[in-house]
Chains A and B, each alone.
Chain A
Amino acid sequence: MPSLTHLKRLESESIHIFREVIAECVKPVMLYSIGKDSAVMLHLALKAFHPAPLPFPLLHVDTTWKFRAMYEFRDATAKRPGVELIVYINQDGVRAGIGPFAHGSQVHTDVMKTQALRQALDKYGFDAAFGGARRDEEQSRAKERVFSFRSTQHHWDPRQQRPELWALFNTRKHAGESLRVFPLSNWTELDVWQYIWQENVPIPALYLAAVRPVVKRDGMLIMVDDERMPLKPGERPMMKKVRFRTLGCYPLTGAIESEAETLPAIIEEMLQARTSERQGRVIDLDSTATMEMKKREGYF
């Protein structure tokens, strides 16, 4: 009997997860962050329900500080057949003028991302939200369930997670409680890139190296993406050939210098890389176990 390649096994597992949610949950949504993991997740979801259109909307929780190229990519994605996109912005945060430069990464992320996500889920009454998180990303994620149970306050309690055996996912919950579901749990960063290459999955061009204006801050290369970025005295944007290993709010996302202009070049660079992908995220450096704390509060 022939057996499946590792990507086919991962793909089939993810499709199984998508279908299980649509069969058992009332109002699912896909959290869409515009990055490569979201791109792969969307690609898999379209496969899972083919030839039917996507049976749930995408939700982009917009902090208003994403790269301009991400917004363009997002809007192009929303026009794809069968795709419906909801954009949610925490207007309280906008009114309070919350931003990464004025308030720092922690406050910005908490108000514009964590709180915004909770508001959006409550507003629309979604009972299951797909997220693109992978277990290989970070230590506290390594123990995350595929179906992660959240209280009515969206809290995650690592000690109250349900045991998850075989592919028998328990989707039951009381009114107001919800699930976060991670179809890419068993994918690694390399799997994601390999799959993007193999399946020709569309991704934002920011992942590929190009000459871009950047400044160096706290050891990181930050792209000057719009006029909201205050330059420090004597600071002048440099034109450097850079790309991004992860995408988020541009003031919080470090670029790496790179010559990789193609997918195979990215993969080759990654194979030789000596730092993990989350290293380019300011928020993770703030404190130890920071991801776990954010998760408890409802971040993803």
Chain B
Amino acid sequence: MRSGSQPAPQDIGTYLRAQENKSLLRFITCGSVDDGKSTLIGRLLYESKLLFDDQLAALARDSKRVGTRGGELDFALLVDGLAAEREQGITIDVAYRYFSTDKRKFIVADTPGHEQYTRNMVTGASTADLAVILIDARKGVLTQTRRHSFLVHLLGIPRVVLAVNKMDLVGYQRATFEQIHADYCDFAAGIGLTNLTAIPLSAAFGDNVLEHSANMPWYSGPTLLQHLESVPMSDELPGRPFRMPVQWVNRPNSGFRGFCGQIASGSVRAGERVRVLPSGRESEVARIVTADGELPEAIAGQSVTVLLASEIDVSRGDVLAAGDAPPQVASQFEATVVWLHEEPLLQGRAYLMKAGTRTVSATVMPIKHRINVNTLEHTAAERLELNDIGVCELELDQPIAFEPYTENRVLGAFILIDRMTNGTVGAGLIHFALRRSQNVHWQALDVNKRIRARQKRQTACVLWLTGLSGAGKSTIANRVEKKLTAEGHHTYLLDGDNVRHGLNKDLGFTAQDRVENIRRVAEVAKLMVDAGLIVLVSFISPFRAERRMARALFEPGEFFEVFVDTPLAEAERRDVKGLYRKARLGELKNFTGIDSPYETPEQPEIQIDTTSVTPEQAAERIVAELAAVGITRPA
């Protein structure tokens, strides 16, 4: 084990102490294919002496093997990471690069400029303090430049550098640079980008990258690196109120109850009043604890542990905030959503939403419009495809504390997670709360579900029968209802076909209409359960996510998924309504089992194999099961 650090030589000691005060700047480079992005990053790494001999040797070797510069050093290869990508010659993912100078450490997110990878740029931009937008001096402001700039603005990156690259190829002409700068300013002002610095450079030859270029004596501004080293680094706008999402409650013993988190904005001092959201309870900061001792004050960016003066209920997902300036709390928002997945976003489908340290269920109600990132036009949309950006209304299953993204990147950002695959499918930025969510409150009623159900000698519940068309759902549901009614219970049967004649007659069979179909039926079933009824729902309901959304509306123990399991071949053989024949002939589109998938239930409460039991036996079994779990009680 090392026996403590020994005194350092004078020069290295000075160096190390200077290093202690370095700041950190995270930036993103964006540009179109062939704008010289990778070359610029390679140049910065090279010039800041961050390339080692073995890496240079590997670079020289790779440049000969797969380089695009006729065997010359191809800096782009340094930043093109994965084997698959190297062979395709394109960057397909965000790569992070690190270099430092005497003043600052830099983290560079290198993001591909390729058309289909908006996703990657948004990812890299989400953590950036500054964006370097590259333009090829020969080409000027392109559609892709506009797209990158829009995304930079959308993600709230506070500072932008317009790097007009390849100046060597336009004879280092001042007029070219100034024309591009003027063109860009016109466009940038239109989208609200204001904090802008333009620099003419040549990444390939190093002009104005580190040192001023003798080729451009007309340029008197900072070089790129000078600018990156000196741009003001306040982590955020000054004077923002204190906010800290609670990450974890540290309770090593009964005498210590600390709320751990990373401060999102502002600062906090011992003795200050704080409010806990969404509950709204207040207390006072007793102590701010870290492993390095107690702090009198903690600031944005620090991970700390806060102890409060009084015992109030605080848990993960809550937000601690300045007592006199708390954030809003709401459960319905307008937000911009960037879709990150091949499977499109559908209106009405419920996703998990992680915002700060809280995860809730969020349903996209209407998609208001989609934004064309090239023209910034708004178009109507019912779904968002991969790399689409849209403005949506979101409805949460519980209220959260939030701030608009433009005011607070931590409290205004969220990701959407698919409930079934667990993939991160969307990213979002909150605009504002919808007024209806602040004003509409649930009416607390004196006569409730339990009282209504008890009167009927039953516990209210929903039996959700799912299965292929022609599986026997309605037949079984009918018999179950007859038996229950005969025993004196109160029921209602919602049948897919019948509901489509009335409540849902405006809906077709596209994926988003199916989702809406299920949502409405689930909501109706919920009201009926509230009325104390045993509700039978007989719906193909082919998608797991929709069944899960329906289930999420009910209390634990209220939802019984009944899988009426009939193999496709058997259902098609029966073809009671002649629909399979039509579907096979192409007369019916989006028919489940034929050209639209049926996703088998993973863990149904009840599974009926119709190839081995009759509908009557199936109904008897379901009724017996309801009695066994106490849904129905004998007279």
> Which chain A residues have a beta carbon within 8 Å of chain B's beta carbons?
1-13, 15-16, 19-20, 22-23, 46-53, 73, 76, 135-136, 139-140, 142-143, 158-159, 161-168, 170, 172-174, 185-186, 188, 190-191, 194, 197-198, 200, 202-205, 207-208, 261-265, 267-268, 271, 273-276, 279, 288-289, 292
Contact = CB atoms under 8 A, between A and B. Distances in A.
B24 A48 contact: no
Given A3-B235, A12-B301, A170 B424 contact: yes
B509 interface: no
Given A163-B340, A204-B1, A265-B12, 9 more contacts: A3-B233, A12-B303, A46-B291, A143-B95, A166-B127, A166-B415, A203-B2, A263-B6, A288-B83
B interface bracket (residues with beta carbon within 8 Å of A): 35 or more
A163 B413 contact: no
A166 B410 contact: yes
B516 to A, nearest CB: 26
15 contacts: A6-B104, A7-B20, A49-B250, A51-B252, A136-B98, A143-B94, A163-B120, A166-B126, A166-B410, A168-B355, A172-B352, A200-B4, A205-B2, A264-B9, A265-B8
Contacts of A6: 22-24, 100, 104-105
A12 B100 CA distance: 19
Nearest to A161: B93
Contacts of A203: 1-2
Nearest to B419: A172
Given A262-B8, A263-B5, A264-B9, A172 B417 contact: yes
A173 B5 contact: no
Contacts of B252: 51-53
A46 B292 CA distance: 11
Interface stretch (B49-57, B68-76, B176-184, B535-543): B49-57
B530 interface: no
User: Chain B at the A interface: mostly helix, strand, loop or mixed?
Assistant: mixed
A162 B424 contact: yes
Contacts of B94: 143
B422 A168 contact: no
Contact of B96 (A5, A142, A262): A142
B81 interface: yes
B53 A50 contact: no
A185 B97 CA distance: 11
Contacts of B292: 47
Given A1-B299, A165-B413, A170-B424, A186 B96 contact: yes
Interface in B366-404: none
Contacts of A15: 262, 303
Contacts of B235: 1, 3-4
B289 interface: yes
B316 interface: yes
B460 interface: no
A48 B303 contact: yes
B55 A276 contact: yes
A135 B632 CA distance: 60
Contacts of A50: 289-291, 305
Nearest to B414: A168
B247 interface: yes
A219 to B, nearest CB: 12
Contacts of A23: 247-248, 316, 357
B304 to A, nearest CB: 9
Contact of B9 (A135, A268, A292): A268
Contacts of B22: 5-7
Nearest to A290: B83
A20 B1 CA distance: 31
Nearest to A188: B98
B427 interface: yes
B247 A167 contact: no
Nearest to B83: A289
B417 A170 contact: yes
Contacts of A10: 24
B88 to A, nearest CB: 12
A163 B123 contact: yes
A158 B93 contact: yes
A39 to B, nearest CB: 10
Nearest to B428: A165
Contacts of B260: 19, 48
Contacts of B439: none
B13 interface: yes
B119 to A, nearest CB: 6
Interface string B400-439: 0000000001100111010000111001000000000000
B229 to A, nearest CB: 13
- Kindly list the 4 A-B residue pairs having the minimum CB-CB distance in the complex, ordered from nearest: A264-B8, A6-B24, A52-B252, A50-B291
B234 interface: yes
Contacts of B12: 264-265, 267-268
Contacts of B83: 140, 288-289, 292
Contacts of A73: 1
User: Max chain A CB contacts within 10 Å: which of B93, B119, B352, B427?
Assistant: B93
A146 to B, nearest CB: 10
Nearest to B79: A142
User: Max chain B CB contacts within 10 Å: which of A51, A53, A142?
Assistant: A142
Contacts of B123: 163-165
User: Max chain B CB contacts within 10 Å: which of A186, A261, A271?
Assistant: A186
Contacts of B55: 276
Nearest to A2: B299
A278 B16 CA distance: 24
Contacts of A186: 96, 98, 107
B630 to A, nearest CB: 29
B300 interface: yes
Contacts of B284: none
B5 A188 contact: no
Nearest to A20: B247
Contacts of B357: 20, 23
Contacts of B126: 165-166
A9 B417 contact: no
A44 B370 CA distance: 44
B119 A163 contact: yes
B52 A275 contact: yes
Interface in B19-55: 19-24, 52-55
B81 A22 contact: no
B31 to A, nearest CB: 18
Contacts of A162: 423-424
Given A19-B260, A23-B247, A73-B1, A262 B6 contact: yes
B331 interface: no
B499 interface: no
B354 A170 contact: yes
A279 B57 CA distance: 12
Contacts of B239: 1
B82 A143 contact: yes
A142 B81 contact: yes
A59 B6 CA distance: 31
B96 A76 contact: no
